[in-house]
Structure 1
Amino acid sequence: MGMSQSYGQGDETESVATIHRAIDLGVTLFDTADQYGLGANEELVGRALKGRRDQVAIATKFGFVPGDGGGLGIRGDKAYVHEAANRSLARLGVDHIDLYYQHRVDDTVPIEETIGAMAELVQAGKVRYLGMSEAGAETLRRAHAVHPIAALQSEWSLWTRDIEAEVRPTCRELGIGIVPFSPLGRGFLTGNVTSVDKLAADDMRRNLPRFEGENFDRNLAIVQRLTTLAAERGVTAGQLALAWVQHQGDDVVPIPGTKRRKYLEENVAAAELALTAEDLAAIAGTVDAVAGDRYRPEMQKLVGR
């Protein structure tokens, strides 16, 4: 996502080089969405993976559409599912999508209709596996009864742990893999974000409650504790935070985003960290209370449907 929107200006040359380097380092899952850059990110991923398609799994998502007053709406009706998938296939330049997610649940359409339409894509050979994003436990059960759900993509990190109460147990009961996005707290847990003023004017984090005013200052204490703990182990705060998510289970596949090879290599190295139960407890202990919600109310209401 960050290569095409939300985190300042992108650089296609560096983006493509980063994707190629990721493959060389053994990364096999690449995640995008039709919403990222309004299709531009899928096109970028398609160009970067051309000639290397058989080495990777491509995941993309559908569901967000332009809403009233310049905001975002959601569509999960059967006709739109098929339209969106065909557009994504064309932009990616592939004949099938490995993992196709509903980006957010459309509460105006029965989930059975949405998943039924997605299942038709599997039957047509356009999609291999189905996924959902930020869905609630009951919705997951209903969806899974229509067609097996392979993966749930939701935010999960040291400072966003709400899926642990109901959603994670449901996923494990049903055999659904968990794909945590923003496992580094949108970059905050790396310790590299020390001032909102240093972020690009169009950086989405300027509009997130946790990055605002007193919330930001209070949350910096988390990063300071994490940084101290990481220094004792000879790694970065980001690597420790990412390794914590990676260690939550064999069914957990975090997808840290980056625009640059430098941070990609740091993230990949985190997969090699071996953490004991005591280590995991110490890492989790750096977070006492998080100041601020994940999103503003209009986006927060789309979580856990």
Structure 2
Amino acid sequence: MNTRTTIGRTGIEVNPIGLGTNAVGGHNIYPDLDEEKGKNVVRTAIENGMDFLDTAFIYGPEHSEELTGAVVKEYDRSSVVIATKGAHEFKGNEVVINNSPMFLKQQVENSLKRLQTDYIDLYYIHFPDEDTPKDEAVGALKELKDEGKIRSIGVSNFSLEQLKQANKDGYVGVIQSEYNLFKREAEKELLPYVQENGISFVPYFPLASGLLAGKYNRDTTFAEDDIRSGSPLFQGENFYHNLKKVEQVKDIAADKNADTAHVVLAWYLTHDAIDTIIPGAKRKDQVIDNLNTLNVELTQTDIQKISDIFS
């Protein structure tokens, strides 16, 4: 598999395997995170040619950007591609989503400070709000792009209609949304639209909370406070049914002397709309392990077979 790819029409070139950094300083997502270990995860990524780092204001909040920025400062800035996201506004104890031009511009300025950089390679509107016309929100980011503060514009969690409005003037380069072999709704309309319009699609939850990594069996149980215990994918007969599907991918992986997770991630990269994937990592060895995806070669038969298993 190619070790370099260009993200859609952004002109930004990266390793197709990026690093999702929500476990780097994301104390509000994972309890008991060790910050030095988190920084070492980012160092390991950069030192092994994984140059696409995905963070966000809300991871921490703020802390993931700060730690990521501190590590990037140790290297040549131009050799690393940073994506971050904003839209969450804290009002007392309440968190609201805000896409207003003024708020987004301030969010970008704040992210630049936390990341200790003078430009952000890819800036996403993290979630859509209900009130702001999406082309106006993107228009504010276009102004910052013209100033050199961001290199490309992305949106995240937008519906097809919201994306169309956001891309009215053709400024959107990337969309990040949930997509995996169990959740393929995006294939109906979203993926065809992004492909037609040269927008790159970055899937999140590509391994469905570990289910597609093949690390669970019928006896696996999850604590009540575990996100998986509330997910329909992990419930009763549905869970067993899903495990059977994963077993079939395990067989394909075994034939290739590869891990199930690597075969699944490689499958996404065969889609024309998907240029990069950003699996997260809590440990250095996981970063190195994710890179093994690049060694997986899938034939057209493999690609179709995997698609059929999860049709």
The interval holding the TM-score normalised by the smaller chain is 0.7 to 0.9
Contiguous gaps of at least 5 residues in structure 2: 1-21
CA RMSD of aligned residues (A): 2.4
User: In the alignment, which residue of structure 2 is the partner of 1:172?
Assistant: 195
Equivalent residue runs for 1:103-114 within 5 Å: 103-114=126-137
The verdict on how the C-alpha distance between 1:132 and 1:250 changes in structure 2, with shifts beyond 3 A counting, is: closer
Secondary structure of 1:285's partner?
Answer: helix
Instruction: Write the mapping of 1:3-14 to structure 2, written as runs, cut at 5 A.
Output: 3=24, 4-5=26-27, 6-14=29-37
Structure 1 position 226 matched with structure 2 position 249? yes
Pick aligned residue for 1:259 from 282, 295, 300: 282
Aligned to 2:23: 2
Amino acid at match of 2:96: G
Change (3 A) 1:152 1:8: same
C-alpha spacing 1:71/1:225, structure 2 compared with 1 (3 Å) = farther
1:57 maps onto 2:81 in alignment:
yes
Q: 1:148-168 CA deviation, whole Å, 9 max, x = no partner?
A: 111111122211211111111
- Judging changes above 3 Å, is the alpha-carbon distance between structure 1 residues 20 and 202 closer, same or farther for their aligned structure 2 residues? farther
2:43 maps to which of 6, 16, 20: 20
| Greater fraction of residues in helix | 1
The 3-state SS of whatever aligns with 2:203 is: strand
- Structure 1 stretch 189-198 or stretch 116-125: which is displaced more? 189-198
Q: 1:238 is matched with which residue: 251, 261, 264?
A: 261
Q: Distance in 2 between matches of 1:106 and 1:250?
A: 25
Which one of 105, 114, 118 corresponds to residue 82 of structure 1?
A: 105
Greater shift, 100-109 or 227-236, is seen at: 227-236
Q: Which amino acid aligns with 1:57?
A: V
Task: Give the partner amino acid of 1:275.
Answer: L
Within a 5 Å distance, the mapping from 1:125-144 to structure 2 comes to 125-144=148-167
Kindly indicate whether the alpha-carbon contact (under 8 Å) linking 2:118 and 2:149 is maintained by their aligned counterparts in 1: yes
Q: Structure 2 vs 1, CA of residues 261 and 166 (structure 1 numbering), >3 Å: closer, same or farther?
A: same
How far is the alpha carbon of 1:12 from its aligned partner? Answer: 2.2
User: Which of 157, 163, 168 is residue 180 of structure 2 equivalent to?
Assistant: 157
- The normalised TM-score by structure 1 is 0.85
Closer, same or farther: CA 110–281 of 1 in aligned 2, 3 Å: same
Q: CA deviation at 1:20?
A: 1.6
The answer to whether residue 121 in structure 2 is matched with residue 98 in structure 1 is yes
Contact 2:58–2:88 under 8 Å retained in 1 = yes
Q: Partner amino acid for 1:247?
A: T
Identical-residue share of aligned pairs (%): 33
User: What is the CA-CA distance between 1:189 and the residue it aligns to?
Assistant: 0.9
User: How many residue pairs were aligned?
Assistant: 286
1:251 deviation in Å? 4.6
Change in Cα spacing, 1:208 to 1:37, as seen in structure 2 (3 Å) is farther
Distance 2:228 2:108 in 1: 29
How far does residue 119 in structure 1 lie from its aligned partner after superposition?
1.4
Aligned with residue 301 of structure 2, among 278, 281, 284 = 278
Q: Secondary structure at the match of 2:191?
A: helix
Equivalent pair of 2:145/2:152 in contact (CA under 8 Å): yes
Contact 1:58 1:98 in 2 (8 A): yes
Query: Scaled by the length of structure 2, what TM-score is found?
Result: 0.83
Deviation at 1:244, TM superposition (A): 0.5
What amino acid does structure 1 have at the position aligned with 2:109? N
Partner of 2:96: 73
CA drift at 1:80? 1.1
Q: Which amino acid aligns with 2:147?
A: A
